[in-house]
Structure 1
Amino acid sequence: MNLQIALLLGQDGITNGAIYALLALSILLVFTVTRILLIPLGEFVTFGALTMATIQSGKPVLFVWLLLALTLVDAALDIRQQVGQRFDMARLRMTAIKIGYAVLMVVIANTVPLADIPMAFQALLTLCLLVPLGPLMYRLFFQPLADAHSLVLLIVSIAVHVAMVGVGLLLFGPEGARTLPFSDTGLHLGPVMLKSQTIWVILVSVLLIVTLFVTFERTLYGKALRATAVNRVGARLLGISPVFAGKATFALAALIGVSSGILIAPITTLYFDSGFIISLKGFVGAIIGGLISYPVAAVGAVAVGLIEAFSMFWASTYKEIIVFTLIIPFLLWRSMTSHHVEDDE
């Protein structure tokens, strides 16, 4: 291995590590606020990439019908909750807005020549289609079990992941896809030319991370989510809605996941079932952070990307084993340094 090869591998490692860092932060965000390990996070990545590829190929965007169906189920549940009670006009108005939004997405997807619009609008439309899936997922599958044991929430999360993989096969088919790069230019840095897509990935990843930091440190809603993460019961007593916190965190996780899919779609071919491995590598970074520390999780995720890249050069057959073996020493270290208290039955 010479310096040029090392720099190329480092470029790939940092690119992948930036995506893993975003997913690790999403996993930590959702877990600390809701106690849910979001196993289906990888499906947001693959759905985002495959939806973008579908738009660019001019094929029908079938995902929009899933959005409409889930929105109608959500609306039906909202109306059912108010039967026998005094109808809340604000909630009914919000229900009508959600249905109208889903119908608008159906109209746009079936009338506008999406393959001919600029790539920036294609990416924006992909976000508009997929990000609402996050709050809908929480409302339909997790909100009724919000106070259940963590193991129950984990089982439901795995079930949702399996269901979404099947939905992905139905909507996108078994073929892989990739999208057009954002630009074909590059930046020469010594003996290595940085790909434009690599620069996009790093810049957008840093922007999202900084935005999350500012949101949680400077805004009222961010502080409310932090309060829910620190003490759910105390936050509820202070008037912070755990339902709002759950939907908000799932929306942020969906935004980050779909954005990650759009960013890496020009770099690698993704399939309907590629999301689990991608999110699992983000989970390794989250474990390095102890499912608590955001900075350590981000650094750990970048380290995972670098180790994966160099493993492909030295031992490509065992690169997945090498990456996932990283989790073992951290689990052993945390097991030996943490103090466990048995719950009284």
Structure 2
Amino acid sequence: MDLTIAAILGLDGLTNGAIYALVALALVLVFSVTRIIFIPQGEFVAFGALTLASLQMGKVPGTVWLLLLLAVAGAALDLVQALRERWAAGRIARRLLGALVVPAAIAALVHALAPRQPALIVQVLLTLAVVTAMGPLLYRLAYRALSAASVLTLLIVSVGVHFALTGIGLVFFGAEGYRTPAFWDARFDAGPLSFTGQTLIIFGASLVLLLAMFVFFERTLMGKALRATSVNRTGARLMGISGDAAGSLSFTMAAFIGALSGLLISPSTTIYYDTGFLIGLKGFVAAVFGGLASFPMALAGAIGVGLIESFGSFYASAFKEVIVFTVILPILLWRSFVDPHHEEH
């Protein structure tokens, strides 16, 4: 291997690492706030890419129907809770409208615009709206009632949610793979390296999102509430911060990050209904590098995973996935020594 090949592989690794960094940050965010190891994060990535592919073909994506199903199921749970606790009629009506209005509005907008094949920016915004709206609904249906459960119980639930979403993805999108056109077809040469417009968009979007998250957590009241919840859930509740609201917001952000990751990666690789699982696992390896608690360490881990995958594929392409996932073993051993397990009471 000469320096030219090493530089090309390094650029490819950094590009993939930027995507894994977004997934890892979402996993750290969800775990730190809710203690949920969110295995289905990769499904948000796949759904984002497949939703955009459907819109570009002029079809109403299956994720719209999934969004409506989740909204109706969430409203049904709210109604059962209201009847059990004997809420006033006005409160019941407001809760049901709050659960149904936004998903119904998004679905109606997609139904109206999808056949017209609107501009790419409109399709991107519709995709982000559809997938992001699934986040809080998924938390409401699968996790909110288990907020006091153990980490192991929440992990088992996450496995079940992953298989359910994967099966639904197969039903709605089929077994065919899809690849969307690049957002920017330009190409720039810098010595031995060739930067595509899509690569620059991936780096730019990742950097902007990281800066936005920094500002959100440092400068906004909601961001500080999430930080307080991640540091000490019991203390945050005593200070009046709703654990359910924090969990719902963290899932909303995770869904948005997943959808954005899917949009960024879909022009570079073919996305299938189950592609998100491998992407999510690689993001998990990066998140574990930071102990599922440190955003900077997760970012560094993601870059490392991307580089290991890139160079591993050069030396042994058939075993590149094995190489990446084998890395988690020494990381887990190292984390067990530097961060002994403790349970919050």
| Counterpart for residue 77 of structure 1 | 77
CA distance in 1, matches of 2:309, 2:13: 7
Deviations 1:113-169 (A, max 9, x none): 456311111000001111111100100000011101111100000000000000000
CA distance in 2, matches of 1:29, 1:143: 16
CA distance in 2, matches of 1:329, 1:233: 33
CA apart distance, 1:91: 6.7
CA apart distance, 1:5: 2.2
| Counterpart for residue 41 of structure 1 | 41
One-letter code of the match for 2:14? I
| Counterpart for residue 131 of structure 1 | 132
- Name structure 2 gaps, 5 residues minimum: none
One-letter code of the match for 1:297? A
Normalised to the residue count of structure 1, the TM-score between the two structures is 0.95
Distance 1:314 1:221, change over 3 A: same
Q: Is the 8 A contact 2:40 2:158 kept in 1?
A: yes
1:132 alignment partner, SS class: helix
What is the 5 A alignment of 1:137-156?
A: 137-156=138-157
Distance 1:174 1:340, change over 3 A: closer
Deviations 1:259-296 (A, max 9, x none): 00000000000110111110100111111111121101
CA apart distance, 1:95: 3.2
| Counterpart for residue 337 of structure 2 | 336
One-letter code of the match for 2:134? L
| Counterpart for residue 200 of structure 2 | 199
One-letter code of the match for 2:183? F
Aligned length, in residue pairs = 344
| Counterpart for residue 23 of structure 2 | 23
| Counterpart for residue 284 of structure 2 | 283
Q: Is the 8 A contact 1:51 1:126 kept in 2?
A: yes
What is the 5 A alignment of 1:1-345?
A: 1-83=1-83, 84-87=85-88, 89=90, 92-93=93-94, 95-114=96-115, 116-340=117-341
CA distance in 2, matches of 1:271, 1:232: 37
Distance 1:333 1:57, change over 3 A: same
Distance 1:239 1:341, change over 3 A: closer
Normalised to the residue count of structure 2, the TM-score between the two structures is 0.95
Deviations 1:216-248 (A, max 9, x none): 111111111111111111111111000000000
CA distance in 2, matches of 1:225, 1:72: 28
Distance 1:96 1:288, change over 3 A: same
CA distance in 2, matches of 1:262, 1:81: 37
One-letter code of the match for 2:306? G
CA distance in 2, matches of 1:211, 1:158: 30
Distance 1:135 1:341, change over 3 A: closer
Q: Is the 8 A contact 1:40 1:276 kept in 2?
A: yes
CA distance in 1, matches of 2:342, 2:302: 30
Distance 1:113 1:67, change over 3 A: closer
Q: Is the 8 A contact 2:286 2:302 kept in 1?
A: yes
CA apart distance, 1:105: 2.7
2:316 alignment partner, SS class: helix
Distance 1:340 1:107, change over 3 A: closer
CA distance in 2, matches of 1:343, 1:249: 20
CA apart distance, 1:57: 1.3
CA distance in 1, matches of 2:128, 2:342: 43
Deviations 1:12-44 (A, max 9, x none): 111110010111111111001100000000000
CA apart distance, 1:334: 2.1
Q: Is the 8 A contact 1:135 1:251 kept in 2?
A: yes
Q: Is the 8 A contact 2:28 2:293 kept in 1?
A: yes
One-letter code of the match for 1:82? A
CA distance in 2, matches of 1:341, 1:70: 35
Q: Is the 8 A contact 1:55 1:115 kept in 2?
A: no
CA apart distance, 1:69: 1.6
Distance 1:153 1:193, change over 3 A: same
1:60 alignment partner, SS class: coil
- Name structure 1 gaps, 5 residues minimum: none
One-letter code of the match for 1:170? V
Distance 1:110 1:292, change over 3 A: closer
Q: Is the 8 A contact 2:110 2:126 kept in 1?
A: no
One-letter code of the match for 1:18? A
One-letter code of the match for 2:12? D
